[in-house]
Each structure stands twice: as structure tokens, then as C-alpha cells.
Chains A and B, each alone.
Chain A
Amino acid sequence: MTSVWEFLAERFPVEKMDLQHMVQGKTVPVHRMSWAYYLGGITLFLFLIQVVTGLMLLFYYQPTVNDAYESVQYITEEVPGGHIIRNLHAWSASAMIFFVLAHLVTTFAMKAFAKPREVTWLAGIGLLLITFGFGFSGYLLPWNQIAVNATKIGLQSIEAMGQYLPASMAHLPTQLKEIIQGEASVGQATLSRFFVLHVVVLPLLSFGLIGIHLFSVQLHGMSKGVPGEVKKTEKFFPTFIIKDFSTWGAVFFIMFILAVTLPFDAFFSFPLMDPYNARGSTPDGIKPEWYFYMVYSPLEMLPYWLVMLAVNGGIVVLLLAPWIFQHTSIKTLRTLAIGFAFYFVIITLFGDVIYHLVKGGM
């Protein structure tokens, strides 16, 4: 019991919880990797954009199987500025995932999870999973062909786990799937559940975790990030924070231009954007969002159990990273991080090409 208290006392040192330590006295190291200190802030800003645009979309969106598609159409086509808000929400969502991943990779490479920052790291991993949850649940809400079919595939992959379990437990994944989707197949119950997850449960969770995350970041300061001594630092307030806000401005500018000029669904072929039709065959080209390719593409090529093992193993490794990589040098971590980033970029950009190479055409 005392060890638990000691653990908490080290991670939340009460004597440091004042403005002097957390804001005025805080410094930010200046070195070659300093740019990585801005990634978390950008992610936070994109999250704020998501909150604001999401609330605005809520004013018009109707989460029923009957009306969801029409209400989204109405937002895009009739509401003044509606397409900008929706585009901004979609583009910023993608950007947020991108920056979350970049933040993950860089903090890993900079060993930012090392003692006493374990709690920051764990909260961060929680936020990562929540962000993916946001992506997955939000994808269904427009209730078009690609949305519903992609969700079906995603949920089915839970059920597919059943075949690898002993017979007495084989029904459990199916049960889990049906608990998530609320009925035997994706329908109104699923839409309601995903809606509630997307706009109530996950936001509440992320507010809490972001609170812990930011609080710990301010409490412990920035991690050193590079091997050896840090020669130069700058003040967090006002020097760093002004630069931080300036990047936010630039990010907003880019996101806004994107939202005004480029409809995010311009990259999908048209039948995928039709309202969901339960009785037709599934149209070609059903794909999850790009950030799920890293799991989806291997799923197409490799045995199912292998991919699931890798994914779940990956999550466990991330959760335990502060302890697993306790004694690993920053140099090694950097190599690992570059390896993952390389894999991610290759599989996201060329997953299709690799698939065709492996399978030898259609």
C-alpha cells in the first residue's frame, strides 16, 4: 500500500503544484528535436476545433437510420457554411490522427515516458485509443454505403476472433460484438450507440484524460529528449507559448483553406457516398479511414490471428513502454520509432500496391 502512495507522490509532487513551478519557472529545451514539442499542442488545438465544429454539427444532425443521411446532406448542401463546418470537422479529424501519431512516435523516440512521466504516457495512450474510437464511431454517422459497410467489417473482425478460442468461449466475441452494435446486425441501435459514444462518452473521457495529461506535462516539464546535456533552454512563458499559439494559427489557416476548397469526400467514388442500402450488394472499394490501413492492409494479406496478435501486442507494449524500455537508450528508441514511422507511411501509401503484388492481381 505504501508503495502505491509513494508511486503517486512521485508522479504528483504536491510541493511543485504552483504557478511558479508549472508556468512561470518552466523552461523548454532547445535542440534539434525541439519541433516535436509542438506536436502535442497542435493535437490539442485540433481537438478544440473538433469540439467546436462537432457541437455545431450537432445542431443539425439527426442520429436515426431514417434521417441521418438526409440531415448530413442538408448540412452540406443547405445550411449556410455547413459544408465548411463539416469539412473542417473531417479534415481536422484526419489531421488530429496524424498529429497524435506523430506525437506518439516522437515522444517515444525522445523517451518522454521515462520516470516520473509514466502517468502522462499512460494518459496519452488512453487518448490515442480514444482518438481512434472517435474516428471509428464518427465514420458511421453519415450512414452512407462506405460508412455502414466499413463499420460492419470493423465489427466483424471482433467476431472473427471467436474461431481461435476454445469451443466453450467461441461465442464470447460474437456476444461482445452484439453488445457494441446493440442488435444482430448494424442498424438503428448501432447508430444510437455510436452516436452516444462519439458525442458524449468519448468526449467526456478525453476531457478527463487531457486534463491529467496536460497537468502532468506542466508539472514535470518537458522531457530532455536528446542524449547528453541540453545546452540551451527557452522560457515556457511567454516565449514557447507564443510560438505554440503561432503554430496553432498556421494550422487553423491550413485547415480552413482545406475545408473551404477541398471536400474531404472528394476522394471516394460516388456510389460509396449513396445512402446505405441494406439489400444491395456491397459496392466496390469499401475501405476504412486511412489511419486504419496500418491494420487493415495486413488483415487483407496475413492470417487474421497474426494481425490481431500484433495489434493487441502492440497496444500492450505501448501501455507497458515505461517499464519495458526503462533502460533502453534514446538512440535505440529512436531507431524503433523510425522503424514504425517507416512501416506506417509505407503501408498507408502503398498498402494497395503491396496487396496486389502479394496476391498477384485480382
Chain B
Amino acid sequence: MIIQFLFIGLPYAAIAAVVIGTYYRLTRKEYTVSSLSSQFLESTFLKWGSVPWHLGILVIFIGHLVPFLLPDLWADLVKHRPILIALEAVGFVAGVMCVLGLVVLIIRRIFTSTLQLVTKPLDFVVYVLLLSQILLGLVTAYSYRYGSVWAPGTVYAYLYGILRLSPDMTYVQDMPFVIQAHIALAWVILMLIPFTRLIHMFSIPLEYLFRLPQKVVWTNEVRWNRRSERAQYMESRRYFFRGVAGVTGAAGLLSFGVLEKSGHYFQGQTLDDAKEATLLEKRLKRMKLTAEEKSYELERLKNDAIFIADLKELQPATGKYFIDYEMRPALAFRDAKGLPNLLSAKCTHLGCTVGKDVDGQGRIVCPCHVSYFDIGTGVPQAGSPTEIPLEHIAWHLRATDGTIVAHGTPDGTVATTAAYDAAKSETYKVFIIKSKGVTVA
């Protein structure tokens, strides 16, 4: 029963009241068709209240009106997701502007004594209704997303029904409470238009745009400076107190925020077991890597020769990274004769690690500043940032029984011994050797 009243009875009552009431007020009391101006009494807050409120409510009004008047155009628009989201966002921001503006206006009404002269009880009723209506709209927009999509087929169908005098509540009677309240309140506000300051929406001050300019003088610098000593004193006192309050408030808020956050920061995170385990695993992996690194170092300190790779692992076109005696990166290739070719991989320019892939011209490249090095000689290509060749690294090639079958020296010369047998080369192992006296610069 109450539903029928709110969605059928109330709308017709409201429409009747608006039509009759507005006609009455426009014809019989035409000088009251406005809202009482209060700009002379208080203008600072008015600026921060009235402007956002009116901007916001105009945007929202248009957003409600267009789908009502041009449903096809609207449907075409909201089909596109970016447009839909943009429209919703604009509407929501406008709603927030309305709320902020209204709050400022309400506070201004209550706390500015001069305004009491032009304030009627009904003004407060209007404020409360408008604020509730906007808040309900915002909640709807937030909780029941994309009203621009669902409202045209439901709420607007109901509205058309009302206007065609064949009311149909099918779509609205089972809607969530918030939306129902928004609709019902809309009728109430509509009904109040002729009896409150809301009537001023019918007197759009368009002639303001064309009338002659008028200058309203309220105060100016000269008058301001001439104000009494007492007024000046009070003025400066007020500013001082305002400043102190502002600074104290800001400092308080800031220190509260900072303390709260830094408290958390120093307390640290309490991790659950799974998270703790992952972190620990990661650390353990790092530790193993570090341990491995250290064992390489130890190996190099203790041994005169270190196994690098099986000869068969080495390829002519792709290098294998290893660590040389100075713990620097180095690359192992296999040359045309099937023998190892070991080069330092530390770029002689600025010490980056040279890449391992050989290009078509037998060169490897340092990614940092694009120095090309010939892998046979280690010499950089002309025009590279460096002119110093990559050093060769001294090596031994050993058979399975340990006899040395070939060796290379830091100057790049390679020699095979009598024991070298190319047929057995797949079993040979490559060692780097401690090159005494010949250290690489």
C-alpha cells in the first residue's frame, strides 16, 4: 500500500502541486519568484558553497534529463565503455561537488548571525532534503554501478508510465531501498518547489548577461586602511588566533599521521608462515650462490689448474662463461681447429661483461658501449670505444689420464703436444692455469 502511494499517488500529487503552485506563485506573487539573496551579508563562504553546488547540480540535472528526453542517443553513448565510465565519473564528481557545496552552505546558514534575517525554517528543510537526495544518489551510483545503463529501461520506463497516465511499478517496486528512496524523495522535492526558495530555478537570470555593468562597492583598500584602531586590533588578533589554530591543527594532524605510520614502519610486518617460508627460501638460495662464489675463490687460491669444461661442450658460435683466476668473467669458445679459445669477458673499455654470442663476422659485442671484439685475436674493431684487446687466458687441454695434450698462453699462441689425438678430442678436458708473472692488467 505504501509502495503504491509513494510511486503512484505521490507523483501525481507532486505534479499537481507543482503545476498549480507554480502558476499561483508566478501570477499572484511574481516578486517572490527567487531565493532571497544573501551575498551582501556573507560572500566568502557563499562563493565556496554556491558555486560548486550549482555547477554540480546542473551537471547532474543534465545527466538525468538527457536519457529521459533522448533515450536512443543515450543508449548509443553508454554502449561504449570509455564513454560510460567517463559519464559515470563526471556524474559522481558532480555529486561530490554538490555535497561539499551544500555542507558549506548549511554551515554558513547556521553560523553566520547576519544570515538569520533572511533564513526561513523551510530553507533548512530544503537543505536537508537536497543533501539526503544527493547522498542517496551517490550511494546508488557507487553500490549499484552503471545506473546510466540500467536506469533507462527501468526507472525511466516507470517515469514514462506516470506521464502517459498508465503507471507501471513493475520495475521499481522490487528495487533496492536506496534507489526507491531516491525516487520517492525526488517527488517530495518536486512538490516543494513552488513553496520554497527552490522556485528560483524558474527565474534564470539570463538578462544579467546583457544588462549594463554595475559596480557594487562594499569595501576598498582606502576604507579598509581607515578602519578604527580597535577594528584593526581585533582583525590582527583574529588572524593570529586563526593562524595559531591552523598551525597547531596541521602540526597535530601531521605528527599523528607520521607517528602512526612510523610506528608501523618500525614494528615491521608480521608475516604468515607461507610468506616467511618463501622469503627464507629466497635467502637460502642467495646464500648458496654466495657460498658457491666463495668456493670458486678458494679453488682458485689452492689449485694451479682448474677444470673449466669438457672440450665437447665448447662451441665456436656460442661462448661458455666461466670465472678466470682473477674472479673475473671469461668466455670459452672452440676454434676452427677444434681447440679451446679462452678470452677474458671483461670489456677493456669500462669493465662490462661481454656477450657470449658470436656474430657472422666472428665478433662478440659488449652491450654497454658497443665494442666489437674479434674472438680469434681479441682485438676490438676499429671505431670501438676501446683499443685494448681482450686478453687470452692460459689453458691446458688434458686427456682423461691427465697428460697435457695442448696448451694456450695469454698472448694467444696455441700449441699441441705429441700426445694430441684429434680423434680422441671429445674426451679432452679444458683447464685454466695459474699464469705466474703474466697477470692481466
Contacts and interface: CB of A to CB of B under 8 A. Distances in A.
Contact of B290 (A66, A80, A160, A362): A66
Contact of B269 (A67, A78, A184, A275): A78
B280 to A, nearest CB: 10
B351 A81 contact: no
B353 A280 contact: yes
A70 B283 contact: yes
A66 B326 CA distance: 20
Given A81-B261, A279-B323, A280-B321, A152 B369 contact: no
Given A70-B282, A279-B321, A153 B262 contact: no
Contacts of A5: none
A185 B326 contact: yes
A281 B441 contact: no
B385 A286 contact: no
B293 A281 contact: no
A59 B327 CA distance: 32
B290 A65 contact: yes
Contacts of B328: 184-185
A279 B264 CA distance: 39
B345 A281 contact: yes
Contacts of A74: 279
Contacts, number: 95
B290 A82 contact: no
A152 B262 contact: no
Interface string B337-380: 00000000100011111111000000000111110000000000
A60 B269 CA distance: 12
Interface string A351-362: 000000001001
A67 B265 contact: no
Interface string A55-75: 010011000011101100010
Interface string A173-185: 0100000000011
A278 interface: yes
A80 B286 contact: no
A282 B267 contact: no
B356 A80 contact: no
Contacts of B367: 281-284, 286
B269 A79 contact: yes
Interface string A286-319: 1000000000000010000000000000000000
A300 B368 CA distance: 10
B83 to A, nearest CB: 26
A298 B366 CA distance: 18
A192 interface: no
B271 interface: yes
A72 B388 CA distance: 37
A152 B350 contact: yes
B345 A153 contact: no
A156 interface: yes
19 contacts: A65-B290, A66-B286, A66-B287, A66-B290, A67-B286, A79-B265, A80-B264, A80-B269, A85-B265, A278-B323, A280-B353, A281-B321, A281-B329, A281-B345, A281-B353, A282-B353, A282-B368, A286-B352, A359-B370
